[in-house]
C-alpha cells in the first residue's frame, strides 16, 4: 500500500537483550494522521527510526516483520532514497541541520537532489511563508531560538513535498500560537493526501486532527482508538499521559510589573528575592533586546512567557552570568556584580545534551554538587583557579549523598543511576539536568522548557517538585520557568511577559530620544 505500514514488527537494538518494540501493527494511509503516545521510553522514537530506515540500516540491531513506506521496504531501501518519500522532523531539529544560514538549510536537500535554481528559490520561499519564517531566511541558524529552529526543520521538509511525514515531538519548542498554526498546516497537508505519523506527549492540539490514537507501553501498542478515548482520566493515569483538553492559563496569571527608565517600579506583594534595574542588552550589530527595563521577582514560580525569539532564553543567560549585560542586579536587596548571580543561580538549558558530560547519571549529579561547593569555596579567590581547586577537593558528606538520592528518586531516575547519560531518552535527560540544577540549592533557579520531552506522569512529578523547591528555605527560591507548555503554566504563581518587557523598553528608548533632542536643542541655542 501507499503511506506507512508496519506488520508484526519486532526490533531489538544492538547489545540489548529486550526488544524495543514488539509485534507492532500500524498503518497510516494517505490523507490520515495517526498519533502515537505513551510514557517516556515506551518505544515511540523507535517507531520513527524504523519508518525512516535509521533502524536497522544505520543503528544496526535485529528486525523481524515488515516496514514499508509508499510500498518500499524501509529496511532495504537506502535511507537517502527513502527520504525522497518520507520527511522526518526529529525531536532535536539541530540533529538534521547541515547549513549555517536558514535559507541555505531549507534549500540544502533540494540542491542535493538536483532541483533547478528557480524551483529551489520558489520552494524555499513557499515553505518559509507557510511556516511564518520569511523574515529569518538570512539569519544564522545557530542564533535562532529552539522554537524557530523547529520551524526551520519543518520548512526544510515541506520544501521537498514528501508524500509521508513522521514528526517527533513537533510542538515541544513552539509557543501556543505557533502550535495552532502547525495544526492548521498539518490539516492542509492531510487534505492534500499526505500520510502523517506524529509521535508526541502533548495531546490537546491534535484533538480535531488525529484519525486514530495508539497508546504504547514497554514497546507494545496497548490501546488504540479515536482521540475521544483520551478524555478518559483513568486511561491517562494508567499510561502516564498528558491532558486531552486545556484552558490557557496565561490569561489568569498576574503580570510582574516592568518599569521603563526613570519610572517608579510597582512593589510586588512579597519581598523581592531578585531585582533587576535598568537592564540593557543587544547582540552585536542587532537592535537592543532589553532597553533600560527594571523588574523585581519574589520567591515562587514565575513564568517567562512570550513568542518564539523574543529574548526569553537570552534573559535567562544574562541572569545566570552567561551573557554580559548592563544594569544593576540584586539578591535579597544586596547588590551584585554583572556575573555575581552565577554562584547563586541554577540553569537548565533547553537542549539537555549541552549540560551532560559525565559517565553515569549519578556522576552528573555528584559533579554538579561538587561544582556548587567549589564555587562557594572560590569566593574571594581567583575564579579561574579557585573553582577547579574546589572541585578537586570537594568531598560529599552523608547529607550531600542523601540529597542526591532524594532528587534521583523524586525525578524517577534512581533505576538509571549507573546508566551513561547519553543513553537516556530525551525526557530522562531533561529530568537529569533538572536534578543537577536543584542539587546546587540555588537561590534563583531558571529552567528553559524543562518539560519539552516529558510524559504526563513525569511532568506532574516535576511540577510538584518545583512547587516544593520554590517554598524551601527561609526565603524560598525565585524559580523562573521559560515555557510554552500550557500544562506546566498551571504550576506558576505569576508571569513575566516579554511583551511587557518590550513595551517598557520602547518607553525607555522614547525617553532617551527625547532627552537627546532636548540636549541638542540647548546646545544649538
Task: Convert the pLDDT of each residue in 213-267 to its tens digit.
Answer: 999 999 999 999 999 999 999 999 999 999 999 888 988 899 999 999 988 887 6
Q: Cα(65)–Cα(47) distance, rounded to whole angstroms?
A: 13
pLDDT confidence tier of residue 173, bands split at 50, 70 and 90: confident
**Which pLDDT does position 390 carry in this prediction?**
47
Q: Residue 166: enclosing H or E segment and its boundaries?
A: strand 164-168
Better pLDDT: 440 or 49: 49
**Which pLDDT does position 387 carry in this prediction?**
46
| Segment 343-365 mean pLDDT | 87
Would 1-85+163-246 and 252-359+408-507 be classified into the same CATH topology?
A: yes
Closest CA to 441 of 384, 506, 372: 372
Q: Which of the 8 DSSP states describes residue 440?
A: T
∠ Cα 448 305 151 (to 5°): 70
| Segment 51-62 mean pLDDT | 95
- C-alpha dihedral (441, 446, 449, 451), degrees to nearest 10: 20
The percentage of residues in the chain with a pLDDT greater than 90, rounded to a whole number, is 57
Q: Cα(523)–Cα(519) distance, rounded to whole angstroms?
A: 6
pLDDT confidence tier of residue 184, bands split at 50, 70 and 90: very high
C-alpha cell at 491: 504550576
**Which pLDDT does position 469 carry in this prediction?**
86
In terms of phi and psi (left: phi > 0; alpha: psi -120 to 50; beta: otherwise), the region of 508 is alpha
pLDDT tens readout for residues 407-424: 999 888 999 999 999 888
The architecture CATH gives domain 252-359+408-507: 3-Layer(aba) Sandwich (3.40)
**Which pLDDT does position 524 carry in this prediction?**
57
The architecture CATH gives domain 1-85+163-246: 3-Layer(aba) Sandwich (3.40)
**Which pLDDT does position 259 carry in this prediction?**
94
Of 166-175, 276-285, 449-458, the one with minimum mean pLDDT is: 449-458
Indicate the pTM of the whole model. 0.81
Per the listing, cell 516592568 goes with 258
Mean of pLDDT over the chain: 88
pLDDT confidence tier of residue 393, bands split at 50, 70 and 90: low
Tell me: cis bond preceding 56? Omega within 30 of 0 counts.
Answer: yes
Where in the chain are the domains?
A: 1-85+163-246, 96-161, 252-359+408-507
How far lies 451's CA from each of 301, 427, 456, 482, in Å?
15, 8, 9, 10
**Which pLDDT does position 379 carry in this prediction?**
55
Q: Cα(402)–Cα(361) distance, rounded to whole angstroms?
A: 15
Better pLDDT: 70 or 271: 70
Beta strands in 243-369 (DSSP E): 258-259, 272-281, 290-298, 300-305, 326-331, 334-336, 345-348
Half-sphere exposure for 102 (CA within 13 Å, toward CB): 26
pLDDT confidence tier of residue 193, bands split at 50, 70 and 90: very high
**Which pLDDT does position 307 carry in this prediction?**
83
**Which pLDDT does position 386 carry in this prediction?**
45
Closest CA to 243 of 488, 53, 34: 488
Burial of 511 (0-12, 13-18, 19+ CB in 10 A): middle
| Segment 286-304 mean pLDDT | 92
pLDDT confidence tier of residue 525, bands split at 50, 70 and 90: low
| Segment 304-326 mean pLDDT | 86
Amino acid at each position: 500500500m501507499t503511506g506507512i505500514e508496519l506488520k508484526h514488527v519486532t526490533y531489538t537494538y544492538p547489545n540489548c537483550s529486550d526488544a524495543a518494540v514488539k509485534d507492532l501493527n500500524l498503518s497510516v494511509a494517505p490523507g490520515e494522521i495517526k498519533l502515537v503516545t505513551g510514557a517516556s521510553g515506551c518505544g515511540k522514537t523507535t517507531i520513527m527510526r524504523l519508518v525512516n530506515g535509521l533502524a536497522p540500516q544505520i543503528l544496526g540491531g535485529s528486525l523481524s516483520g515488515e516496514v514499508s513506506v509508499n510500498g518500499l521496504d524501509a529496511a532495504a531501501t537506502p535511507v537517502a532514497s527513502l527520504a525522497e518519500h518520507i520527511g522526518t522532523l526529529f525531536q532535536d531539529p539541530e540533529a538534521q541541520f547541515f547549513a549555517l544560514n536558514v535559507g541555505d538549510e531549507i534549500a540544502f536537500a533540494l540542491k542535493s537532489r538536483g532541483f533547478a535554481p528557480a524551483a529551489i528559490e520558489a520552494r524555499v520561499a513557499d515553505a518559509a511563508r507557510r511556516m511564518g519564517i520569511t523574515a529569518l531566511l538570512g539569519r544564522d541558524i545557530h542564533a535562532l531560538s529552539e522554537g524557530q529552529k523547529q520551524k526551520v526543520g519543518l520548512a526544510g521538509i515541506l520544501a521537498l513535498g514528501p508524500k509521508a511525514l513522521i514528526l517527533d515531538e513537533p510542538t515541544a519548542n513552539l509557543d501556543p500560537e505557533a502550535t495552532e498554526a502547525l495544526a492548521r498546516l498539518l490539516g492542509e497537508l492531510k487534505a492534500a493526501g499526505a500520510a502523517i505519523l506524529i509521535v508526541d506527549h502533548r495531546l490537546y492540539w491534535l484533538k480535531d486532527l488525529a484519525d486514530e490514537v495508539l497508546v504504547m507501553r514497554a514497546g507494545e501498542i496497548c490501546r488504540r482508538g479515536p482521540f475521544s478515548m483520551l478524555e478518559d482520566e483513568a486511561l491517562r493515569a494508567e499510561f502516564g499521559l498528558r491532558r486531552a483538553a486545556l484552558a490557557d492559563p496565561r490569561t489568569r496569571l498576574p503580570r510582574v510589573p516592568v518599569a521603563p527608565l526613570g519610572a517608579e517600579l510597582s512593589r510586588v506583594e512579597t519581598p523581592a528575592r531578585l531585582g533587576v534595574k535598568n537592564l540593557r542588552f543587544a547582540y552585536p550589530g542587532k537592535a537592543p533586546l532589553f532597553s533600560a527595563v527594571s523588574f523585581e521577582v519574589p520567591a515562587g514560580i514565575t513564568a517567562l512567557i512570550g513568542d518564539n525569539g523574543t529574548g526569553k532564553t537570552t534573559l535567562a543567560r544574562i541572569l545566570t552570568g552567561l551573557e554580559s549585560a548592563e544594569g544593576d542586579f540584586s539578591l535579597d536587596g544586596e547588590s551584585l556584580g554583572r556575573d555575581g548571580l552565577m554562584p547563586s543561580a541554577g540553569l537548565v538549558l533547553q537542549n539537555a545534551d549541552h549540560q551532560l558530560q559525565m559517565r553515569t547519571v549519578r556522576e552528573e549529579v555528584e559533579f554538579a554538587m561538587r561544582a556548587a561547593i567549589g564555587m562557594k569555596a572560590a569566593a574571594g579567590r581567583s575564579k579561574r583557579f579557585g573553582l577547579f581547586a574546589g572541585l578537586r577537593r570537594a568531598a560529599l558528606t552523608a547529607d550531600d549523598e542523601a540529597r542526591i538520592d532524594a532528587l534521583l528518586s523524586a525525578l524517577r531516575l534512581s533505576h538509571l543511576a549507573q546508566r551513561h547519560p547519553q543513553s537516556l531518552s530525551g525526557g530522562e535527560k531533561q529530568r537529569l539536568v533538572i536534578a543537577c540544577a536543584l542539587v546546587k540549592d540555588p537561590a534563583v533557579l531558571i529552567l528553559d522548557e524543562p518539560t519539552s520531552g516529558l510524559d504526563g506522569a513525569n511532568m506532574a512529578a516535576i511540577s510538584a517538585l518545583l512547587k516544593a523547591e520554590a517554598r524551601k528555605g527561609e526565603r524560598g527560591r525565585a524559580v523562573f520557568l521559560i515555557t510554552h507548555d500550557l500544562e506546566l503554566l498551571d504550576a506558576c504563581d505569576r508571569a513575566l511577559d516579554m511583551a511587557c518587557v518590550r513595551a517598557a523598553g520602547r518607553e525607555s528608548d522614547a525617553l532617551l530620544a527625547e532627552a537627546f533632542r532636548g540636549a541638542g536643542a540647548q546646545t544649538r541655542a
